[in-house]
Chains A and B, each alone.
Chain A
Amino acid sequence: MAATPEAAVSETAVSETAVPHAAVSTDPAPSLAAPRREAAVVLENLGKRFGSGAPVLEDVNATIGQGEFVALLGASGCGKSTLLNIIAGLEEPSSGALEVPSDGAAFMFQDSALFPWISARGNVELALKLRGVGRAERRTRAMELLELVHLAEAADKRPHELSGGMRQRVSLARALAQDRPLLLMDEPFAALDAITRDLLHDELERIWKETGRTIVFVTHNVREAVRLGQRVLLLSSRPGRVVAQWEVSEEHRTNAGKAGELTGAITTRLREEIRRHA
């Protein structure tokens, strides 16, 4: 089994200037000391505008360590998806610099975006094929990945025969098939019902621990961010920039009081950001 993220080697401490706008006073857990690991993604004064319109992103600074699970939180229209697309290399930033793994990132979309003409296994196999994995190995590897998301029995089903949650799990298996250390997730559970979503949180956490990926998880759901992230970054709206961050400990996921406190604090801060636009 792959090393857990905690076991990642830490050489360079990431400077706390990564979040210059952090509102320290309002944070209940204002741990600005960034995790001590090698950085997987570094964003420096990143800006993005489309055409001559108002900037979507402005002066975004963040450092994401290897093996870290970061939740990127923000209201609608804060450029979360744009930021993710830039990290994935699907879009170019207008200004600033970014450092991402040279072999790109795996991406998971809000809708599963599975190809309807092939089975669940076919979808995973296609990702392996486009990566250059040989035919013989593809099948075994695809079955391993489907086993990982507990869908080995549904391997031969077409996407339309699967439920929304199962489709997202296949989509996760496909993203893992890309075998990139960085996994970007764009509100992957937003369209699911509450029961399924809770379940997939457990599932995703387990898979993250088993595979040791770096995950950037975009969401507009505070509870989801606290449930999943080791760190929550809050993005302001129009223009989007990182304005605050919180460390989330294991206790925040098991102790209702602690979790409620943190969720409340983040929600307050998020609403403050939204009110500024009233």
Chain B
Amino acid sequence: MPETVTAPVLKQGSPDDFRQLEAGLDSLQSETTAKHGVDWTRVLLPLAAFLVILVAWQVYVSLGFRRRDIVPGPLDVIGSLSTLWGEGSVQQAVWTSLQRGLVGFLISVAVATPLGLLLAQVKLLRRAFGPLISGLQVLPSVAWVPAAILWFGLTDGTAYFVVLMGAIPSMVNGLIAGVDQIPPQYRRVGQVLGASRLEMALQIVLPAALPGYVAGLKQGWAFSWRSLMAAEIITVGGTMGFGLGSLLDQGRTLSDMSVVFSAILLILFVGIIVELLVFAPIEKRLLRGRGLLSGSTR
């Protein structure tokens, strides 16, 4: 029975021809990466959106549906902010809170990273403690404030404790999710390359899980910032310094809505600035380096 066979592959050409052919194919097939300049729409668009909201707010307040001392307008808040700035309380509050948030965040990273890697890599531990960690993430960390006050009194210890309880579980969960999404091929390559358990965790699993890990850190920061504000609002006095939460609480006790709004806006701005200056660039770099950015709206 005759079989139809396509033409066989033959060797042809000199080594030089071959080198040139290869170089030609390489340049044809690799994508040319354009250099990115500063994209001003990134700055101008959020600014424009902010202005639109501000104007809408001012217009609403000017229509006079509500008393000004209950719903202050942007101009009232700006006035109050500049008074507070003059007293130095804005600087003090932002600095105190930011410092606490940062220290709490760093401690959380130091605790959550080894913990997350261990849970992700060791099946027994994951089975045992996984549900607990997920559960802790659901528990609002404000729930720890009463316990923390009884244990640590009105000290920074209370603030840090609440921050850690808020940030660590979400960081651990982020890292575990990142590890779960690693293509199995990477581990096989690691095995073939002769990586030990520790080398596998540090050289292959951690870098491969980095996008998920950074997303977890970002969420951890958000949780710790929120928890910190809650702790500062509730825990006033003692050796607790004067943070943004304390400023908010002060506004409430004085029934000064402008101060309350100033504090809320300051808390929001710190969040936005940390996102824009810290996490956004890191995430963008990470994704671009892995070729995951093309076609996204970032």
Contacts and interface: CB of A to CB of B under 8 A. Distances in A.
A117 B290 contact: yes
A116 B291 contact: yes
Interface in B240-296: 289-291
Interface stretch (B102-110, B146-154, B193-201): B193-201
Nearest to B11: A253
Interface in A95-143: 104, 106-107, 109, 111, 113, 115-118, 126-127, 129-131
Interface in B177-223: 185-186, 188-195, 199, 203-204, 207-208, 210
A interface, by DSSP: helix, strand, loop or mixed? helix
Given A158-B289, A162-B30, A260-B8, A130 B193 contact: yes
Contacts of A154: 26, 30
B98 to A, nearest CB: 31
B67 interface: no
Contacts of A158: 289-291
A198 to B, nearest CB: 6
A151 B190 CA distance: 23
A131 B186 CA distance: 17
Contacts of B188: 90, 109, 113
Interface residues of B, number: 40
Contacts of A195: 25
Contacts of A199: 18, 21-22, 25
Interface in B153-192: 185-186, 188-192
B239 interface: no
B8 A117 contact: no
B192 A88 contact: yes
A264 B192 contact: no
Contacts of B193: 126-127, 130-131, 174, 178
Interface string A238-278: 00000000000000011010011011100110010000000
Interface in B72-115: none
Interface residues of A, number: 56
Nearest to A174: B193
Contact of A260 (B7, B185, B207): B7
Interface string B1-33: 001011111110101001101110110011101
Given A150-B22, A162-B30, A259-B8, A116 B189 contact: no
Contacts of B19: 150
Contacts of B199: 130
Contacts of A256: 7-8, 10
A117 B210 contact: yes
A271 B5 CA distance: 11
A174 B192 CA distance: 11
B30 A226 contact: no
A87 B296 CA distance: 42
Contact of B204 (A115, A131, A226): A115
Nearest to A255: B10
A267 B4 CA distance: 9
A131 B199 CA distance: 11
Contacts of A113: 185-186, 188-189
A227 interface: yes
B13 to A, nearest CB: 8
30 contacts: A109-B189, A113-B185, A113-B189, A115-B186, A115-B189, A127-B193, A130-B199, A162-B30, A163-B29, A165-B25, A195-B25, A196-B29, A199-B18, A201-B9, A202-B18, A203-B22, A206-B15, A226-B8, A227-B9, A227-B10, A227-B11, A253-B11, A256-B7, A256-B8, A256-B10, A259-B8, A260-B7, A260-B8, A264-B5, A267-B5
Given A90-B191, A131-B193, A254-B11, 9 more contacts: A109-B185, A115-B186, A130-B190, A130-B194, A130-B199, A130-B203, A150-B19, A163-B26, A203-B22
Interface of B: 3, 5-11, 13, 15, 18-19, 21-23, 25-26, 29-31, 33, 185-186, 188-195, 199, 203-204, 207-208, 210, 289-291
Top 4 nearest A-B pairs (CB, nearest first) are A160-B291, A163-B29, A259-B8, A227-B9
